[in-house]
């Protein structure tokens, strides 16, 4: 299979489908960079900072894939793809401020380069640009975007607090991911199908698919953050360990004291691991732990949920292409 079958890092079996997706993403890329422009010089530079740095473009890809079940090439589909990517980019500016991150997509983060205030306001600027575009797509799109934004904010807030008494930390964490990550990817599937003129049944199936594949996407990112080196990842590896943020493998390790190395337990309980030796040691122990196996099993559960959502969709190349996306998600963190 040639590289012509690869789009946004995902390999598709059908060359014609891959070509259609590639053309769609090229249109989206052009619209995205135009949406980041500003008459203010600093805002122009900071607004395009992350967009120009590239990225997976997973959300616009899903918009374009979902549209394959209806009328492809519609301007509304491309605008919707830009809306979800602008929203995603805006959250990255804010996340990097909260995490005090210094690297994003292999480059210096906006907050490290220009300070927290500029980074936060740049994120707000991109949210505003997304709002302008979504207003052009109609009142239903505005409502869906507002509901998605509400879930994004709720997930971000829940991430900053401890689980309520009696709530399992793993359940709390998965709820955060559903709101903070799954919600926008679900909207990506929904928008693509909506603006391609698909039936309600197809729209619902692709919305559910997006939520499940979004969970798998984030969980695989969490695993890759632990297993990969910084040069492979394009950002600092083990960032959550260094910042004291507990992702699913860490929560599983803390939940099962009998199966977890005592040294790893001690390191995880110590909080942020700013010491380089302790950080490297925790990564080493975590990589070989049963907690990683449990986290992979949870990832596979969402992968299979996503695959199950495809059964409601008509058979054909578009459904097979979504199945390829599920395969990609299953293999990327193996």
How does pLDDT run across 87-129, given as a tens digit for each residue? 999 999 988 888 777 777 767 788 888 888 998 999 999 999 9
Comparing 233 with 292, the larger pLDDT belongs to 292
Q: Which CATH number do you get for residue 301? A: 1.10.600.10
Q: Are residues 140 and 175 in the same domain?
A: yes
Q: Are residues 213 and 178 in the same domain?
A: no
Q: Are residues 57 and 193 in the same domain?
A: yes
d(CA 132, CA 322): 30
d(CA 177, CA 183): 9
Q: Are residues 327 and 210 in the same domain?
A: yes
Phi then psi for 161, rounded to 5 degrees? -120, 160
Q: Are residues 179 and 316 in the same domain?
A: no
- Which of 198, 226, 249 is the last residue before a domain boundary? 198
Please determine, for residue 3, whether its predicted confidence score (pLDDT) is greater than 80. Answer: no
Answer yes or no: pTM beyond 0.85.
yes
Domain hosting 282: range is: 205-333
Please determine, for residue 35, whether its predicted confidence score (pLDDT) is greater than 60. Answer: yes
Which residue, among 247, 246, 252, 241, has the nearest Cα to 284 in the 3D structure?
A: 241
Please determine, for residue 334, whether its predicted confidence score (pLDDT) is greater than 70. Answer: no
Please determine, for residue 231, whether its predicted confidence score (pLDDT) is greater than 50. Answer: no
pLDDT at 295: 96
Average pLDDT for residues 72-100, to the nearest whole number? 91
Q: Are residues 128 and 216 in the same domain?
A: no
Please determine, for residue 31, whether its predicted confidence score (pLDDT) is greater than 70. Answer: yes
Comparing 1 with 160, the larger pLDDT belongs to 160
How crowded is residue 11: how many other Cβ atoms within 10 Å of its Cβ?
A: 15
Q: What is the pLDDT of residues 260-291, one digit of tens each?
A: 999 999 999 988 898 999 999 999 999 999 99
Q: Are residues 127 and 11 in the same domain?
A: yes
Q: Are residues 264 and 290 in the same domain?
A: yes
Q: Which tokens hold the place of 203?
A: 């729209």
Q: What is the pLDDT of residues 240-267, one digit of tens each?
A: 898 888 899 999 999 998 999 999 999 9
- Which of 149, 170, 198 is the last residue before a domain boundary? 198
Q: Which tokens hold the place of 108?
A: 């210096």
Q: Are residues 228 and 155 in the same domain?
A: no
DSSP state letters, 225-285: HHHS-HHHHSS-TTHHHHHT---HHHHHHHH-TTTS-HHHHHHHHT----SHHHHHHHHHH
What is the percent of the chain where pLDDT is above 70? 96
pLDDT at 236: 62
Comparing 330 with 139, the larger pLDDT belongs to 139
Contact 179, 158 (CB under 8 A): yes
Q: Are residues 129 and 256 in the same domain?
A: no
Please determine, for residue 230, whether its predicted confidence score (pLDDT) is greater than 90. Answer: no
Q: Are residues 247 and 161 in the same domain?
A: no
- Which of 198, 231, 252 is the last residue before a domain boundary? 198
Average pLDDT for residues 13-28, to the nearest whole number? 93
Comparing 301 with 231, the larger pLDDT belongs to 301
pLDDT at 27: 95
Q: Are residues 124 and 229 in the same domain?
A: no
Please determine, for residue 2, whether its predicted confidence score (pLDDT) is greater than 60. Answer: no
Count of structural domains, the chain: 2
What residues form DSSP beta bridges with 295?
A: none
Q: What is the pLDDT of residues 173-226, one digit of tens each?
A: 999 999 999 999 999 999 999 999 999 999 999 999 999 999 999 999 889 889
**Residue 332, class by beta-carbon neighbours within 10 Å (0-12 exposed, 13-18 middle, 19+ buried)?**
middle
| Strands 6-7 vs 10-11: parallel, antiparallel or unpaired | antiparallel
The C-alpha angle with vertex 309 and arms to 304 and 312, in degrees rounded to 5, equals: 145
């Amino acid at each position: 299979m040639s590289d012509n079958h690869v789009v946004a890092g995902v390999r598709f079996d059908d060359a014609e489908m891959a070509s259609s997706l590639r053309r769609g993403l090229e249109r989206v890329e052009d619209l995205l960079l135009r949406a980041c422009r500003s008459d203010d010089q600093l805002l122009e530079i900071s607004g395009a900072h992350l967009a120009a740095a590239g990225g997976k473009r997973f959300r616009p890809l899903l918009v374009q894939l979902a549209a394959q079940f209806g009328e492809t090439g519609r301007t509304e589909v491309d605008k919707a793809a830009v809306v979800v990517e602008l929203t995603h980019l805006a959250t990255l500016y804010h996340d990097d401020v909260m995490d005090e991150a210094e690297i994003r997509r292999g480059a210096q983060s906006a907050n490290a380069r220009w300070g927290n205030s500029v980074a936060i306001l740049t994120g707000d600027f991109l949210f505003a640009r997304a709002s302008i575009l979504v207003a052009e797509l109609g009142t239903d799109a505005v409502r869906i975007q507002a509901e998605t934004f509400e879930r994004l904010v709720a997930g971000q807030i829940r991430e900053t607090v401890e689980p309520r008494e009696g709530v399992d930390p793993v359940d709390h964490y998965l709820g955060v991911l559903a709101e903070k990550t799954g919600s926008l990817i679900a909207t990506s599937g929904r928008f693509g199908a909506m603006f391609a003129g698909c039936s309600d049944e197809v729209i619902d199936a692709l919305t559910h698919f997006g939520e499940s594949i979004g969970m798998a996407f984030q969980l695989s990112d969490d695993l890759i953050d632990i297993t990969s080196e910084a040069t492979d990842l394009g950002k600092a590896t083990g960032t959550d360990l260094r910042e004291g943020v507990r992702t699913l493998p860490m929560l599983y390790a803390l939940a099962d004291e009998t199966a977890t190395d005592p040294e790893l337990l001690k390191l995880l309980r110590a909080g942020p691991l700013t010491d380089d030796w302790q950080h490297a040691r925790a990564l080493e122990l975590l990589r070989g732990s049963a907690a990683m196996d449990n986290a992979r099993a949870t990832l596979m559960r969402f992968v299979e949920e996503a695959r199950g959502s495809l059964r409601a969709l008509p058979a054909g190349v578009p459904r097979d292409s979504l199945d390829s996306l599920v395969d990609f998600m299953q293999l990327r963190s193996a």
